[in-house]
Structure 1
Amino acid sequence: MLRKKIKYLFILLIVFSITVSCKSIVEKEQSSTSEVSYIKPRIINTTDLGADPDDEQSMVRQLVSANEFDIEGLIVATGCWKKSQNNTDMLDKLVEAYSQAYPNLKIHADGYPSPEHLRSISVMGQDEYGMADVGSGKDSPGSELIIQAVDKDDPRPVWVMGWGGMNTVAQAIWKVQETRSPAEFEKFLGKLRLFDILGQGDSGAWIAKNFPEVFYIRATEVYGWAPSDEYIDKHIQSHGPLGAAYPDRKYATEGDTPAFMHVYPTGLNDPEQIEQGGWGGRFSFAKKEGIRSMSCVEKENETKYDPYYMYGNTAEGSEAIKRWRSEAYNNDFAARMDWSITEDYSDANHHPVAVLNGDQTRQVLKIKAAPGSTVALSAAGSSDPDGNAISYSWSFYDEPSSYDGPVKIQNSSSHSATVEIPEDAGNKSIHVILEVHDDGEPNLYAYRRVIISVN
């Protein structure tokens, strides 16, 4: 009897061991192939398509990156370089090019919106220029779409990007103020995030003057980072229907791209915290008075709203974009263009996954430390979906850090690093960036940021 019991227990032990091992293998496989979680930004574009080829260029980059966002509006509007619009034909052609690339794109990443969805949100905004086209009887499909997006039962803010003028969102604001209670209007404004490229009309100044509580960025340092004509010719324009839709440069390349790059969920930054800096640049929470629009805007049309205040670029200007290496943001574009013409997942490169201290999201991490202490940081668990070798780099990001001095990082090119907290760093913050890149073709990058608060 005793012998039978021992044999029975032995069999149970073997079964248990096999079960645990299988479970461990399954969990390991699931963790290595699961999508890293992140919060998609909600975005709406207003674009003065036809004023300059750079709007079409930026739209191609955004469409090929569309899985990273919840795109809720593509609105054709006006600006000082194109003061009237009457159709969405140019936008429709770009969405049609996307529809041809869509079957391939969705093989390489989840989350790409259907062409039908993009067609449903491709609408006209204000068809005339500036504040002259804002007010009673001036509602447009675009202004109505903005209102509907903000009204959705969704806690995420809505980023409205002005690639031309801002009068379509101005019309939305005007209507909500006229038709709702003060409390309802305040709630509406609280969900808006406005990102204005260069200022291309007087409506931005009107918004900033009359509604100073609105989150309003006017980016004026948007050039100098873009790929060369040769790079575009080789890696973008030669790639299928979307490449063919990317026009040659007339003036500057992709001047509107920093708008959506600011909210691009790379792991570098929280777009709400504009001083952190990311692919779209870095901005100051100290509002600036009278950030003027481009030369095509009549000066008196903005000065009549003086003083008005907006968030603007920090002193680094476009260097805040270029610091992240053209190999990172432009190779991201090139790889996605490869996806658009490649129906086999294994024939293209894909982004590595950066894990920070066991956290597999793309969120900014915050930890506390004491002066004179050391902080251990680990990228263990970082991986590459294609099996490529990955390299690590840890760096101190001086500009957004409140600590103004050198910070030593031991083993800065290893998957595990140690940050030495200076003795004089009390009550200061230290931003450390983890950069992971693979050795695929082209090299692709992933990031994480940790903010160390020194008590």
Structure 2
Amino acid sequence: MLKKIFFVFLFSFIINAAFAQDMAKNRVIILTDIEADPDDTQSLVRLMLYANQVDIEGIVAATSCWHTSQVNPESVKRVIKAYEKVQPNLLKHEKGFPEAEKLLKLVKSGLPKYGMEGVGKGMDSEGSDWIIKVLEEDDDRPLWISTWGGVNTLAQALYKIEKTKRKKEARRLIAKLRVYTISDQDDSGIWIRNNFPELFYVVSPGDDYETATWTGINTVVEDIDNTTISNTWISENIQQNHGPLGAVYPDVAWGVEGDTPAFLSLIPNGLNEAEHPEWGGWGGRYELYKPDFSKTKDGSSIVEIAPETREIWTNANDNYTPYVPNSFGRAVKKAQKSFDGYKVTLWRWRDEFQNDFAARMDWCQKDVDEANHPPVPVLSHSNQITVKSGEYCALDAFDSFDPDGDSFSFLWFHYPEAGSYKQTINFVPENAHNTGFTAPRVEKPETAHIILKVSDKGEPNLTRYKRIIVTILPR
């Protein structure tokens, strides 16, 4: 018994110390058309398990093209009340999970009107006023609007800011906003982008969801293992025998967790950098440009395609060759097949964030010594390195550790699309705690993003990352 108490104490000290080293949490307000599709409830269950790693500032029940005339805040509260029953056990595993009472006070409603019908004079709601209130708080951190449905609650907040604030103050408030919206699910999205051209906006616009990066979360991909999005996996790892929060996770009706990418990149894991969509992370990778709709096919949404008048953060391609287990010799090898496309930027991390979800669902009921917890990568050097062409760049993560005492593996790889140097840099070996490369010849300063993945051998196996940005200078 004393041994178990000591283990729990030691674990809590280690994991909380590691968590305390994380950067400032991302602030987020959720706009959800919950009850339009079960996937909003699915995403909300997952969000509750990361409620200690992001600052949830509001959850607003809104409309969308699929849910045009009603809002359902009671459905949000149902999930939070399920979270309330497991929150004490979650705190055994990681600090900072907020009381359910606090979260319930953050549930607000937008107007039960579709799109621009709910924007203009006299169209304020507790949701739109709440966005303004949170923006006005004395907090310099950006405020993310994670939009799972229609965005007209934000549109009304922007309308009111423009009509009631001095120009300087309006610019200051709007500059704090960051928007990630799951495609356009009402006609206020294009209105926002046209009228607030400086607003930071991540979206795969258009009415054909198949052309959206976020669908990579539930796309079945040939020649890879899609187990972690299967209904059997969801039943066994999320829904059944995982307590009240798992029990409210609904079956898939259309696509599993189509809204989750709108907040995945806000989770601190060593890879995600929300302010840099072009760097890539769990929520996908995006580049800033004005998209061309001339080749867009009609899809199933009722939101019409409209020409973009400005640059937005939107679909970007990755070329990705997975590493797979090797039976003999070096533990990993590159797969025979490579993949290319914008959905690749998201599904390439899918097993890792699904396993993370499953582990945290275990935390709802299991004791600390019965569940798995992520490893902690520790670099022996800075995460920003400058070298000249021809110089050797040594990399090391000797002091990495796992709080559960699990064995863990290393994998170093170059992420060419995230930096300016596009030719692949290889590592030999790529799976030891120490490796390196000879800086290639360059004609001008270039950046190369090197990713370290540390994955434990617990159940389910969990991964954390370090991103090293190497600046390569010409000789």
TM-score of the two chains, using structure 1 as the length reference: 0.88
Flag the 1:44–1:147 CA change in 2: closer, same or farther, 3 A: same
Aligned-partner SS, 1:402 = coil
Give the Cα separation in 2 of the matches to 1:49 and 1:83.
12
2:375 is the counterpart of 1:347: no
Determine the structure 2 residue equivalent to 1:369. Answer: 387
Flag the 1:332–1:31 CA change in 2: closer, same or farther, 3 A: closer
Determine the structure 1 residue equivalent to 2:347. Answer: 322
Give the Cα separation in 2 of the matches to 1:329 and 1:192.
26
Deviates more, 1:241-250 or 1:31-40: 31-40
Alignment of 1:4-23 (within 5 A): none
Flag the 1:33–1:49 CA change in 2: closer, same or farther, 3 A: closer
| Higher Rg | 1
Flag the 1:231–1:156 CA change in 2: closer, same or farther, 3 A: same
Aligned-partner SS, 2:427 = strand
C-alpha contact (below 8 Å) 1:352/1:444 kept by paired residues:
yes
2:405 is the counterpart of 1:422: no
Determine the structure 2 residue equivalent to 1:296. Answer: 301
Give the Cα separation in 2 of the matches to 1:328 and 1:311.
24
Determine the structure 2 residue equivalent to 1:276. Answer: 279
How far off is 1:296 after superposition?
Answer: 2.9
Aligned-partner SS, 1:222 = helix
Corresponding letter in the other structure for 1:35: A
Q: Deviations over 1:98-153 (max 9, x none)?
A: 11111111111111111011101011112211011011111111111111111111
Alignment of 1:59-78 (within 5 A): 59-78=44-63
| Superposed CA RMSD | 2.1
TM-score of the two chains, using structure 2 as the length reference: 0.84
Alignment of 1:154-165 (within 5 A): 154-165=139-150
Q: Deviations over 1:384-412 (max 9, x none)?
A: 11111111110111222221223132332
Corresponding letter in the other structure for 1:221: T
Determine the structure 2 residue equivalent to 1:35. Answer: 18
Alignment of 1:194-233 (within 5 A): 194-219=179-204, 220-226=212-218, 227-233=229-235
Give the Cα separation in 1 of the matches to 2:380 and 2:128.
44
Give the Cα separation in 2 of the matches to 1:51 and 1:32.
38
Flag the 1:125–1:290 CA change in 2: closer, same or farther, 3 A: farther
Give the Cα separation in 2 of the matches to 1:388 and 1:230.
27
Determine the structure 2 residue equivalent to 1:4. Answer: none
Corresponding letter in the other structure for 1:357: S
C-alpha contact (below 8 Å) 2:265/2:281 kept by paired residues:
yes
Determine the structure 1 residue equivalent to 2:125. Answer: 140
Q: Deviations over 1:196-219 (max 9, x none)?
A: 101101111001001100001103
Flag the 1:73–1:289 CA change in 2: closer, same or farther, 3 A: farther
Give the Cα separation in 2 of the matches to 1:32 and 1:217.
32
How far off is 1:288 after superposition?
Answer: 2.6
Of the three residues 388, 396, 403, the one matched with 2:414 is 396
How far off is 1:86 after superposition?
Answer: 4.3
Give the Cα separation in 2 of the matches to 1:357 and 1:383.
13
Of the three residues 249, 252, 268, the one matched with 1:249 is 252
How far off is 1:88 after superposition?
Answer: 1.2
How far off is 1:274 after superposition?
Answer: 1.0
Identity of aligned residues (%): 40
Runs (5+) with no aligned partner, structure 2: 1-11, 205-211, 219-228, 318-340
Give the Cα separation in 2 of the matches to 1:357 and 1:287.
41
C-alpha contact (below 8 Å) 1:96/1:115 kept by paired residues:
yes
C-alpha contact (below 8 Å) 2:62/2:71 kept by paired residues:
no
Determine the structure 2 residue equivalent to 1:22. Answer: none
Give the Cα separation in 2 of the matches to 1:42 and 1:103.
23
Of the three residues 259, 263, 286, the one matched with 1:260 is 263
Give the Cα separation in 2 of the matches to 1:397 and 1:306.
29
Determine the structure 1 residue equivalent to 2:472. Answer: 454
Give the Cα separation in 2 of the matches to 1:367 and 1:34.
26
Give the Cα separation in 1 of the matches to 2:14 and 2:147.
39
How far off is 1:33 after superposition?
Answer: 6.3
Q: Deviations over 1:241-285 (max 9, x none)?
A: 111111001111100000101222111031111110000000002
C-alpha contact (below 8 Å) 2:64/2:185 kept by paired residues:
yes
C-alpha contact (below 8 Å) 1:124/1:141 kept by paired residues:
yes
Give the Cα separation in 2 of the matches to 1:42 and 1:320.
24
Count of matched residue pairs: 418
Alignment of 1:183-198 (within 5 A): 183-198=168-183
Of the three residues 77, 80, 84, the one matched with 1:99 is 84
